[in-house]
Chain A
Amino acid sequence: MRFQISSLDFFYGAKQAVFGVNLKIPANKVTALIGPSGCGKSTFLRTLNRMNDTIRHSRYSGEILLDGQDIRQMDVVKLRRRVGMVFQRPNPFPKSIFENVAYGLRINGYNGNLRDHVEHSLRRAALWDEVKDYLHKSAFALSGGQQQRLCIARALAVDPEVLLLDEPCSALDPVTTAKIEELMFQLKDSCTLAIVTHNMQQAARASDFTAFMLDGKLIEHSETPKLFTTPQDPRTEAYITGRFG
C-alpha cells in the first residue's frame, strides 16, 4: 500500500467537507475517485499532498500514512516531491517548455544531467516527439492537450512515487483524453496514480480500483470491474446508472 488513510475528517473553518474516510491506495495501480460535484473528492485528493495547507483555516484530523509515515510529520517540501499533482486546467508556467519541466528539478537541487532528465520526463509524458525541436519555445504555444501533458511531464520530472490527478481531462477533447488515459496505463509501472474524475466511463476504462464518495463520505471502494457491475451500496448503483450526478 502506498497511502493508508484512516478516519479522515477535513474542515474548511467550521464547515466539515470530509467525514471519516478510510481508504487504502495500492502501489502501482490506478485508483479512481468518483462522485457528484461537491462530494469532497477534490478536497480529499488535495490533503494527500497537503495542498490544502495553503487554504486558511483548513485542518484535518485522522491519519494519512505514506509508506507507513505520517505525512504531517514529514517536511512538506519533501512530501510534495514524492507526491506530485496535475490540476484540472493546464497551468504551465510562463516559461519555455524546457524550463517548465526543469523547474521542479532546479528548485529541488537536482545536480545530475538536466537535459537528459527533461527529455526522459517528456518521453514518459508522450510529449517528446512533438516538442523536441521546440524546447525553447513558450509553453503557451502548445495546444491545451499538449499543455496538460507538459504539466504531467513537469510533475513526473521530480520522480514522484505517487501522482495525483484532479480531473485532468475535464478541459480536454476526447482524443487528447484518450492519449492521457493511455499515458496513465504506462505510468503505472513506475508510479502510483490517484485520479479524481467526473467521467464514469473514464474511471471504468482506466482504473484498477474505484472509490465512490457522496456528501463527504466514502460510500464504497473496490476493484473497478466489481464496483461498476455489482455495486454493494444502493447509492453507488444509483450514481453509476445515472440516476443522479
Chain B
Amino acid sequence: MSVDATAMERAPSPWTGRALLRRLAIGDEVAHLVTLIFAFTVILLTSLLVYQLFLNSAASRHAFGWHFWLSRTWDPVFEHFGAAPFIYGTLVTSAISLLIAVPLGLAAAVFLSELAPRSISDTISFLIDLLAAVPSVIFGLLGIFIVVPMMRTMIGPALKDTLGFLPLFQGPNYGVGFLTAGIVLAIMVVPYIISVSREVLLTVPRDQREAALALGATRWESTWKVVVPWARTGITGSVFLALARAVGETMAVTMVIGNDPKIATSLFAPGYTIAAVIANEFTEATGKLYLSSLIELGLVLFMITLILNGCARLLIIATERGGGHP
C-alpha cells in the first residue's frame, strides 16, 4: 500500500479523530504548572513549619530570652522554664551512643567492604538496613524489658566494680538513665554509620590498597592506615548523620531515660532529653508559657538537627566530588 501523505491530510482520514486533544502546547504548559505547584507545596510546608515554630514559641522566647538555654530550672508550677537539663541530656546520650556506635559501626563497615566476599557483604548489609527500619517504639519496648534489667543486674554492677572510682559510675543505679538511653541509641544509629561508611569505603580505589600491600603492610595496616583515611570525609559525614538521628530520637529514649530534668554527673542517673520532655509533657502543658517553652525546645531541636544534617550532607557531597581524599 503506497501511502500519499498529502492525500491523508485532505481526505476524511483516520487521523482527525482526536486531533484537538493532542494540542500539545496547552498540555505541556498545564503539566508543568501542576507539577510545579506540588513542588512548591514542599517549600511552602517547610516554611510554614519554621514559621509556626517561631510563632508558637514567642511567649517563652520573650519571657526568658537567652537565659532559657542556661537555666536549669524546669518548674511548671512557678512557670520557670530552662532548657539546660534537656540540652545536657541530649548531648550526653548522643555522645554515649556515638562512643559505642562509631567504633562498632566502622569496624563492621570495614569488615563488609574489605574482608567479606560480595554475597555475604550484600546479605549482611541488607539485614542491617532492616535493622534501620525497626520502629523506635519497638527499640523502646526492648529497652524497657531487656536492657534496663540488664543494666540494673549485670552491666551496672560490672561497671561499678571496675570503674567505680570515676564519678561517672557512682551513685544509685535503677536501670534507667543516661547510660541505658545511650546504649539503646547506639543500636539505633549504628546501621546508618555502617551503611554510609561501607559505601564510601567501597569507592576507595583498588590501587590504594594494593600500593600499601606491595610495600609489605598487613591487611589490617593497609586498611587502617590507607583505606580508612582516604574515606575519612565520608565516614565523618555518616557520623553527623547518626548524630542527627540520635538527637531527634524520641520514643526509645523516653522509655528508658527516667524522665528526670536534672543535670547529674553519674551516668546511672535518670535524665531527660529535649525530644523526651516534649513527648511526655506536651499534652499535660497547662498555660501558654508552658506550652510555648516546650515548643521553643522543639525549635532548638529543629535547629540542631538542621545544622547536623547540613554538615552531613556537605561532607558526603565532598566525598562524592573529591573522591574522598582531603
Could you list which residues of chain A lie within 8 angstroms of chain B, going by C-beta atoms? Answer: 67, 76-77, 82, 107-112, 120, 159-161, 189-190
Query: Are the CB atoms of B18 and A111 closer together than 8 Å?
Result: yes
Could you list which residues of chain B lie within 8 angstroms of chain A, going by C-beta atoms? Answer: 1-3, 5-6, 8, 14-19, 21-22, 24
Please give the distance in Å from A68's CB to the nearest CB on chain B.
11
Query: Are the CB atoms of A111 and B5 closer together than 8 Å?
Result: no
Query: Are the CB atoms of B15 and A82 closer together than 8 Å?
Result: no
Query: Are the CB atoms of A112 and B3 closer together than 8 Å?
Result: no
- CB-defined A-B contacts under 8 Å, sample of 11: A77-B22, A77-B24, A109-B16, A109-B19, A112-B14, A120-B1, A159-B5, A159-B8, A160-B5, A190-B1, A190-B3
User: 17 extra interchain contacts, Cβ-Cβ under 8 A, other than A76-B24, A109-B22, A190-B3?
Assistant: A82-B5, A107-B22, A108-B22, A109-B15, A109-B16, A109-B19, A109-B21, A110-B14, A110-B15, A111-B17, A112-B14, A120-B1, A159-B3, A159-B8, A160-B5, A190-B1, A190-B2
The 7 closest A-B pairs by CB, nearest first: A112-B14, A109-B18, A111-B17, A161-B5, A109-B17, A190-B2, A159-B3
A-B pair number, CB within 8 angstroms: 32
Chain A residue at minimal CB-CB distance from B22 = A109
Chain A residue at minimal CB-CB distance from B17 = A111
Q: Chain B at the A interface: mostly helix, strand, loop or mixed? A: loop
Please give the distance in Å from B301's CB to the nearest CB on chain A.
42
In the bound assembly, the distance between CA atoms of A77 and B24 in angstroms comes to 8
In the bound assembly, the distance between CA atoms of A47 and B16 in angstroms comes to 27
Query: Are the CB atoms of A110 and B17 closer together than 8 Å?
Result: yes
Query: B6 to chain A: which residues have CB within 8 Å?
Result: 67
Please give the distance in Å from B296's CB to the nearest CB on chain A.
47
In the bound assembly, the distance between CA atoms of A108 and B6 in angstroms comes to 16
Chain B residue at minimal CB-CB distance from A156 = B3
Query: A107 to chain B: which residues have CB within 8 Å?
Result: 22
Query: B21 to chain A: which residues have CB within 8 Å?
Result: 109
Please give the distance in Å from A29's CB to the nearest CB on chain B.
15
Query: B1 to chain A: which residues have CB within 8 Å?
Result: 120, 190
Query: A161 to chain B: which residues have CB within 8 Å?
Result: 5
Query: A160 to chain B: which residues have CB within 8 Å?
Result: 5
In the bound assembly, the distance between CA atoms of A159 and B18 in angstroms comes to 17
Query: B14 to chain A: which residues have CB within 8 Å?
Result: 110-112
In the bound assembly, the distance between CA atoms of A189 and B2 in angstroms comes to 7
Chain B residue at minimal CB-CB distance from A109 = B18
In the bound assembly, the distance between CA atoms of A112 and B13 in angstroms comes to 8
Chain A residue at minimal CB-CB distance from B5 = A161
Query: B15 to chain A: which residues have CB within 8 Å?
Result: 108-110
Chain A residue at minimal CB-CB distance from B19 = A109
Please give the distance in Å from A114's CB to the nearest CB on chain B.
9
In the bound assembly, the distance between CA atoms of A67 and B16 in angstroms comes to 21
Please give the distance in Å from A57's CB to the nearest CB on chain B.
19
Query: A67 to chain B: which residues have CB within 8 Å?
Result: 6
Residue of B19, B21, B22 contacting most chain A CB atoms (<10 Å): B22
Query: A76 to chain B: which residues have CB within 8 Å?
Result: 24
In the bound assembly, the distance between CA atoms of A105 and B21 in angstroms comes to 14
Query: B19 to chain A: which residues have CB within 8 Å?
Result: 109
In the bound assembly, the distance between CA atoms of A67 and B5 in angstroms comes to 11
Query: B5 to chain A: which residues have CB within 8 Å?
Result: 82, 159-161
In the bound assembly, the distance between CA atoms of A159 and B21 in angstroms comes to 20
In the bound assembly, the distance between CA atoms of A108 and B190 in angstroms comes to 55
Please give the distance in Å from B3's CB to the nearest CB on chain A.
5
Query: B2 to chain A: which residues have CB within 8 Å?
Result: 189-190
Query: A109 to chain B: which residues have CB within 8 Å?
Result: 15-19, 21-22
Query: B24 to chain A: which residues have CB within 8 Å?
Result: 76-77
In the bound assembly, the distance between CA atoms of A58 and B5 in angstroms comes to 30
Query: A120 to chain B: which residues have CB within 8 Å?
Result: 1
Query: A159 to chain B: which residues have CB within 8 Å?
Result: 3, 5, 8
In the bound assembly, the distance between CA atoms of A135 and B18 in angstroms comes to 25
Chain B residue at minimal CB-CB distance from A114 = B14
In the bound assembly, the distance between CA atoms of A98 and B21 in angstroms comes to 23
In the bound assembly, the distance between CA atoms of A97 and B5 in angstroms comes to 25
Query: A112 to chain B: which residues have CB within 8 Å?
Result: 14
Please give the distance in Å from B259's CB to the nearest CB on chain A.
54
In the bound assembly, the distance between CA atoms of A109 and B24 in angstroms comes to 13
Please give the distance in Å from B17's CB to the nearest CB on chain A.
3
In the bound assembly, the distance between CA atoms of A190 and B5 in angstroms comes to 9
